[in-house]
Amino acid sequence: MANHHGSEGLVRVSTNTVAEVTSFSFTQTAEYAEDTTLSDLDKTYNVTAIKSWNGTITAFWDETDTNGQVALAPGSNVSVVLAPEGVGAGATRYSGNALVTEITRNVQRGAITEITFNFIGNGALTAATS
C-alpha cells in the first residue's frame, strides 16, 4: 500500500504554484435521484448521477503571490490543479475549473496570518497521472 506525506502536495492556479499552502482538501460527490415506486420494497435510484466537487485551500497569507493567492479572488472562475502527491513522475493530480466562493483571513497574536479559500467546482474534476 502506498502512503503519501502532506509535504508532497501542491496547488496550482493554471500553471502557477500557489505560495505558502499549508493544507488543502477537496470532496467529490454524486447525487442520485430516487425512483422508488409505491410497489417497491426497497429504495431504488436512477443510475445517472450528477457529480460535483468543492474544496478548501489554506495558506500563510502572501499578498505578493499575484498569480496564485491573489488570483483566487472571491467570484473568480479559475483553473486549479490539486496535486496531493506533487507533480513528479507517476503522481496523480486533479484538475478543473473552480469558482471561489469565500475567503477568510485568520489573524492571531503570535501566529502567522492565514488565508483560506473555499471553492466549488464549475464542471468536471479530472484525474490524471504525470
Q: What is the pLDDT of residues 55-104, one digit of tens each?
A: 999 999 999 999 999 999 999 999 999 999 988 888 999 999 999 999 99
Q: Both ends of the chain: CA-CA distance in Å?
A: 19
CATH of the domain at 98: 2.30.110.20
Grid cell of 82 as nine digits: 490539486
In a domain, 39, yes or no: no
Q: Convert the pLDDT of each residue in 25-62 to its tens digit.
A: 999 999 988 899 999 999 998 888 899 999 999 999 99
pLDDT tens string 101-125 = 999 999 999 999 999 999 999 999 9
How many Cβ atoms from other residues are within 10 Å of residue 119's Cβ? 25
Residue 1 forms part of a structural domain: no
What predicted TM-score, i.e. pTM, was given to this entire model? 0.89
- Three-state DSSP class for residue 32: coil
Give which of 6, 25, 27, 32 is closest to 86, Cα–Cα: 6
Sign of CA dihedral 99, 67, 124, 127: negative
Which domain covers residue 26, as residue numbers? 6-34+44-129
**Is 49 a member of any domain?**
yes
* Cα gap 13→81, rounded to integer Å: 7
